[in-house]
Amino acid sequence: MCAKSDDIIDKGRRILEEEGNAILRKASQLDETFSELVKKLLASSGRVALTGVGKSGTIGEKIAATLSSTGTPAFYLRTVDALHGDLGMLTSSDILLAVSNSGETAEVLAVCDAARQLGVEIIALTGNSESSLGKLATLSLDTGVEKEACPLGLAPTASTTVTLALGDALAMALLEERGFTAENYAHFHPGGALGQRLRYQVKDIQRGGKDLPVVTEESNLSEAIAEMTDKGNLGVTLVVSDSGELSGILSDGDLRRILAQQHDSSQSVDLETPVRELMTRNPLTIDASASAKDALQIMEVRGITSLVVVNPAGRPDALIHLHDILGRGKIVL
């Protein structure tokens, strides 16, 4: 018979809390060993290799991927393959991070012993620094936990979570020490959504021409709403003067404020009201050559969904909308 939903949810919460607490305890225990490891990897002229077996191997593979994508060249070395020829992937300038909670995994020890004979430095990520692996290594980062989150105390749960979190902490510390930037990240992720978001310029994804919602100052509210609806339903229209210069912007947010103010006061607004009386003047603008990342950051900080792209003459050439960056244009998350 299946337990009640509340009981199942409580079980899930307990596991999450136990694993979260294990990470917090490890954070309070972090010592000079972590700093030494970061400095050692920064000073290395080679790559970082990760190895492990089972769940530890899976965690090692993820740590290698995170390091590689954030400025520290790394790869994952499968123990069986390493013992059958793939040790040739290692050079004496590389560093091998070996992941084993017990520190007594036979395959990991065999790989470390062989790698050490090649002149490769061994770093242990283990829950037992006094283990065989800990003694093989020049440095041992403690990944031990008080207990596993598994109710049976058998399945690697809290220990693998802590090891993964330590790997992330290591990668992020290295990232900051190297001065690794969002642009660097984009270079390593040319096919990913984030990479595309950072790589494109505003001009690559802006809306212009017949897709640009524009009305004049003399247009009324009814005409502005129709323009907002017909041109991509973006919830915004630009407002220009008779000479074509940008005067302001009218958004869904403006309409909500207008309705709220009208409800609370004697102010009368109807569909014939000129847009010039309702628009927001001096809207935020951006240059067409700016990056999509910069546009997104401005929108997030200012809590808006659109930026006007103006030319040197002050005329609106285009509009970039939040959806164009996050979902509807060339960039798809």
Q: Is residue 155 part of a domain?
A: yes
Look up residue 51 and give its DSSP letter: E
Quick one: pLDDT band at residue 332, thresholds 50, 70, 90? very low
Strand-strand pairing, 236-240 and 246-251: antiparallel
Two tokens, residue 198? 């950072």
Same domain for 220 and 155? no
Predicted structure pTM score: 0.63
The strand pairing partners of 280, in sequence order, are 249
Quick one: pLDDT band at residue 260, thresholds 50, 70, 90? confident
Same domain for 157 and 256? no
Same domain for 28 and 147? yes
Q: Can you give the CATH number for the domain in which 258 is found?
A: 3.10.580.10
Mean pLDDT score of the chain, rounded to an integer? 89
- Given 180, 211, 241, which residue is the final one in a domain? 180
Contact 178, 163 (CB under 8 A): no
Q: If 0-12 CB within 10 Å is exposed, 13-18 middle and 19+ buried, where does residue 306 land? A: buried
Two tokens, residue 122? 């061994």
Q: How many domains does the chain have?
A: 2
Looking at residue 217, its pLDDT comes to 92
Q: Is residue 189 part of a domain?
A: no
Same domain for 169 and 316? no
Two tokens, residue 156? 């690697």
Strand, coil or helix: 39: helix
Q: Is residue 246 part of a domain?
A: yes
Same domain for 14 and 70? yes
Looking at residue 187, its pLDDT comes to 67
Same domain for 44 and 166? yes
Number of other CB atoms surrounding residue 49 within 10 Å: 27
- How far apart CA 149 and CA 146 sit, in angstroms, is 10
Same domain for 258 and 145? no
Strand, coil or helix: 210: helix
Same domain for 49 and 165? yes
- Given 124, 153, 180, which residue is the final one in a domain? 180
- How far apart CA 99 and CA 55 sit, in angstroms, is 10
Quick one: pLDDT band at residue 333, thresholds 50, 70, 90? very low
Q: Is residue 255 part of a domain?
A: yes
Q: pLDDT tens across 28-63, in order? A: 999 999 999 999 999 999 999 999 999 999 999 999
Same domain for 99 and 39? yes
Q: Quickly list H helices, the chain.
A: 5-29, 32-43, 55-69, 79-82, 106-117, 132-136, 158-178, 182-188, 193-199, 202-205, 221-230, 252-264, 292-302, 322-326
Q: Is residue 209 part of a domain?
A: yes
- How far apart CA 62 and CA 55 sit, in angstroms, is 11
Same domain for 51 and 162? yes
Q: Is residue 214 part of a domain?
A: yes
Q: Is residue 274 part of a domain?
A: yes
Looking at residue 331, its pLDDT comes to 41
Provide the domain limits for residue 265: 199-326
Q: Can you give the CATH number for the domain in which 30 is found?
A: 3.40.50.10490
Looking at residue 189, its pLDDT comes to 64
- How far apart CA 52 and CA 112 sit, in angstroms, is 10
Q: pLDDT tens across 212-241, in order? A: 999 999 999 999 999 988 887 788 999 999
Same domain for 156 and 216? no
Q: pLDDT tens across 98-128, in order? A: 999 999 999 999 999 999 999 999 999 999 9
Q: Is residue 166 part of a domain?
A: yes
Same domain for 16 and 164? yes
Q: pLDDT tens across 147-186, in order? A: 999 999 889 999 999 999 999 999 999 999 999 876 677 6
- Report whether pLDDT(330) > 50: no
